[in-house]
């Protein structure tokens, strides 16, 4: 009876997870989808508890571990989610991936060290333990390194930039393989197991440490996929169909996201993983020469142009998130809309520092979902637009990506903002974006720079618009 109940709970949990992942693909349904996935996780825990009903020796002990672990994990999750600022989300995701990898590693280790308790005998269980330990260790150490690098706690040692790192990593991979073979040969022998654990953990560090800050979010997405693979393997180890299915879904979703990010940044996965550091630089005009035709204007001039516009497109970027200016922006756009001006937001797939960064930021400020338009949809609309307001965005509006085959950005899909009648770029100075190169947009005749912190500029703009009577 309990078996049927557990299968029923698992089945519902899997369905909710699948619906959750599907819902995440649309801004409108993403919040609800996340809640569905959380309910699925809750059901998974309940299913586990039901599993132990009627198993006398495990009852109290297993129940208290499961309930205790869920409470501690849940409280830590809530505290983290509430405290972490949006700009630190990639580090947080890396940490969560690391926890996922570590869980799979620990489950596999427990099974290997106490095979009877976890019913881990037989070739399928043995191979699953090997995969779970290997991928789980790489995910755990790689994610911790990724988080530490993004936080600025770790930098790449010079020898890691050289080809020597490939030799070291290959040696570690061979050592892991030897450990795996030895473990299978001796049916779970400790020597092979620990060689596999140590070599794979070091491999995770060796592969992630040389990767530069600019590519790190791609690596985090890949590690997310690995954490799914490790969980699926752990599912085979403990005989949990739910874990197998959920892990496979996370693995596939992470891989697709990695591909989307690589396309959005115009990087191949091979060059991300083996190309070494492509550091985020903030030096101005590192590629493509000096600026020759910069025009700057006051907030008042910007307000006057906006007052006369019929159609305005907002382009949010990383600087908007740093300035936490989304709420002030919403007040500005409310004034414009009240004056009958058509306002939409152009969302580039990799604007900010993680996919969906801008969607979440604008949703936080109650921007209606239907006003957010993806790059492919909005690009044809720029020629018919009066004013584009670029707020703390840089690389994602650089025309060099389409015009200069020698540019490091060449081939990256960008927003064609230069086709609008007037473009205002709000940023603090002339420093470069993530790629570290000059932006040809700033030199164009129809572009005016409005220098200042995005929140301050938008606050001043709101005052100017009110003085002009816009939206009253
Ligand atoms: P960006 O190219 O990094 O440019 C951000 C701009 O914001 C900077 O030029 C900076 O100029 C300005 N800024 C910073 N603080 C500001 C503030 N307080 N107020 C006003 N402006 C401020 O940003 P993006 O256009 O959003 O492009 C994203 C970049 O990140 C792309 O290169 C993308 O490939 C990369 N990336 C994205 C992802 C992802 O998944 N989304 C992942 C990895 C990498 P000043 O210093 O002069 O103000």
CATH number at residue 322: 3.40.50.1220
Residue minimizing CA distance to atom 1 of ligand 1:
433
Whether 104 and 237 share a structural domain: yes
**Parent domain of 395:** 299-467
The answer to whether residue 248 sits within a structural domain is yes
Asked whether the beta carbons of 185 and 196 are under 8 A apart, the reply is no
User: Ligand 1: which atom is nearest the Cα of residue 351?
Assistant: 26
Place of tokens 């957010």: 372
Whether 23 and 138 share a structural domain: no
Q: Which of 394, 429, 452 to mutate to test the pocket of ligand 1 (most atoms within 8 A of CB)?
A: 394
User: Ligand 1: which atom is nearest the Cα of residue 429?
Assistant: 47
Whether 115 and 249 share a structural domain: yes
Residue minimizing CA distance to atom 15 of ligand 1:
319
Q: What is the whole-number distance in angstroms between the Cα of residue 429 and the centre of ligand 1?
A: 13
Nearest CA to 291 out of 437, 188, 122, 389 is that of: 437
Quote the CA–CA distance of 472 and 151 in Å, as a whole number: 45
Whether 176 and 127 share a structural domain: yes
pLDDT value of residue 157 = 84
Q: What is the whole-number distance in angstroms between the Cα of residue 352 and the centre of ligand 1?
A: 6
Q: What is the whole-number distance in angstroms between the Cα of residue 353 and the centre of ligand 1?
A: 8
The answer to whether residue 285 sits within a structural domain is no
Quote the CA–CA distance of 114 and 302 in Å, as a whole number: 70
Whether 135 and 106 share a structural domain: yes
Whether 258 and 307 share a structural domain: no
The answer to whether residue 322 sits within a structural domain is yes
Show the ligand 1 pocket: residues with CB < 6 angstroms.
214, 217, 261, 265, 317-319, 322-323, 350-355, 357, 392-396, 426-429, 431, 433-435, 453-454
Whether 19 and 144 share a structural domain: no
Quote the CA–CA distance of 392 and 371 in Å, as a whole number: 19
Residue minimizing CA distance to atom 22 of ligand 1:
319
Q: What is the whole-number distance in angstroms between the Cα of residue 316 and the centre of ligand 1?
A: 9
pLDDT value of residue 408 = 81
Of the candidates 79, 110, 130, which is a domain's last residue?
79
The answer to whether residue 84 sits within a structural domain is no
Whether 180 and 120 share a structural domain: yes
Whether 151 and 262 share a structural domain: yes
Q: What is the whole-number distance in angstroms between the Cα of residue 356 and the centre of ligand 1?
A: 14
Q: How many independent structural domains does the chain possess? A: 3
The answer to whether residue 286 sits within a structural domain is no
Q: Which of 149, 323, 350, 408 to mutate to test the pocket of ligand 1 (most atoms within 8 A of CB)?
A: 350
Q: How far is CA 468 from the centre of its chain?
A: 41
Asked whether the beta carbons of 219 and 208 are under 8 A apart, the reply is yes
Whether 133 and 241 share a structural domain: yes
Q: Which of 258, 264, 278, 318 to mutate to test the pocket of ligand 1 (most atoms within 8 A of CB)?
A: 318
The answer to whether residue 284 sits within a structural domain is no
Asked whether the beta carbons of 428 and 452 are under 8 A apart, the reply is yes
Whether 306 and 455 share a structural domain: yes
Asked whether the beta carbons of 242 and 13 are under 8 A apart, the reply is yes
Please tell me whether residue 228 adopts helix, strand or coil conformation.
Answer: helix
> Rounded to two decimals, what is the model's pTM?
0.80
Q: Which residues, 6 or more positions from 387, have their beta carbon under 8 angstroms from its beta carbon?
A: 305, 306, 309, 311, 312, 313, 420, 421, 422, 423, 424
Whether 219 and 338 share a structural domain: no
Phi, psi of 388 (to 5 degrees): -115, 130
pLDDT value of residue 121 = 63
User: Ligand 1: which atom is nearest the Cα of residue 393?
Assistant: 25
Residues serving a catalytic function are 395
Query: For the chain, which ranges sit under pLDDT 70?
Result: 1, 53-59, 115-121, 213-214, 275-288
Report the residue count for the chain.
472
The answer to whether residue 90 sits within a structural domain is no
The answer to whether residue 170 sits within a structural domain is yes
Of the candidates 23, 51, 79, which is a domain's last residue?
79
Residue 448: in which H helix or E strand, if any? strand 447-451
Q: What is the whole-number distance in angstroms between the Cα of residue 427 and the centre of ligand 1?
A: 10
DSSP type of residue 387: E
């Amino acid at each position: 009876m309990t078996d049927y109940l557990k299968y029923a709970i698992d089945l519902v949990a899997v369905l909710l997870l699948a619906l959750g992942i599907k819902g995440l693909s649309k801004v409108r349904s993403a919040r609800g989808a996340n809640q569905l996935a959380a309910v699925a996780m809750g059901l998974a825990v309940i299913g586990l508890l039901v599993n132990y009903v009627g198993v006398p020796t495990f009852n109290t002990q297993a129940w208290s571990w499961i309930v205790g672990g869920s409470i501690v994990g849940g409280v830590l999750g809530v505290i983290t989610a509430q405290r972490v600022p949006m700009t630190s989300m990639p580090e947080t995701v890396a940490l969560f991936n690391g926890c996922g990898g570590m869980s799979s590693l620990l489950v596999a280790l427990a099974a290997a060290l106490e095979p009877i308790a976890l019913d881990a005998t037989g070739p399928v269980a043995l191979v699953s333990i090997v995969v779970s330990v290997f991928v789980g260790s790489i995910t755990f150490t790689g994610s911790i390194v990724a988080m530490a690098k993004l936080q600025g706690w770790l930098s790449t040692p010079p020898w890691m930039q050289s080809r020597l790192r490939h030799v070291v990593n290959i040696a570690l991979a061979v050592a892991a393989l030897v450990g795996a073979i030895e473990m299978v040969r001796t049916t779970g022998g400790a020597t092979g197991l620990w060689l596999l654990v140590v070599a794979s953990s070091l491999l995770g560090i060796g592969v992630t440490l040389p990767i530069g800050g600019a590519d790190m979010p791609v690596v985090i997405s890949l590690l997310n996929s690995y954490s799914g693979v490790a969980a699926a393997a752990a599912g085979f180890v403990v005989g949990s169909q739910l874990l197998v299915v959920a892990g496979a879904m996370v693995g596939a979703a992470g891989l697709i996201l990695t591909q989307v990010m690589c396309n959005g940044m115009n990087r191949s996965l091979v060059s991300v993983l083996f190309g070494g550091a492509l550091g985020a630089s903030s030096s101005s005009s590192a590629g493509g020469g000096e600026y020759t035709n910069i025009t700057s204007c006051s907030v008042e001039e910007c307000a006057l142009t906006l007052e006369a516009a019929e159609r305005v497109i907002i382009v949010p970027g990383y600087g908007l998130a740093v300035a936490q200016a989304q709420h002030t922006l919403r007040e500005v756009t409310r004034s414009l809309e009240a004056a009958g001006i058509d306002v939409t937001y152009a969302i580039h797939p990799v604007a900010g520092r993680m996919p969906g960064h801008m969607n979440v930021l604008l949703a936080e400020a109650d921007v209606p979902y239907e006003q957010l338009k993806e790059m492919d949809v909005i690009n044809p609309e720029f020629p018919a637009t009066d004013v584009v307001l670029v707020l703390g965005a840089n690389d994602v509006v650089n025309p060099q990506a389409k015009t200069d085959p020698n540019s490091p950005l060449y081939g990256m899909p960008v927003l064609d903002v230069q086709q609008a009648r007037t473009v205002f770029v709000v940023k603090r100075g002339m420093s470069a974006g993530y790629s570290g190169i000059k932006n040809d947009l700033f030199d164009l005749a129809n572009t005016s720079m409005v220098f200042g912190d995005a929140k301050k500029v938008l606050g001043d703009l709101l005052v100017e618009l009110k003085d002009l009577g816009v939206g009253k």
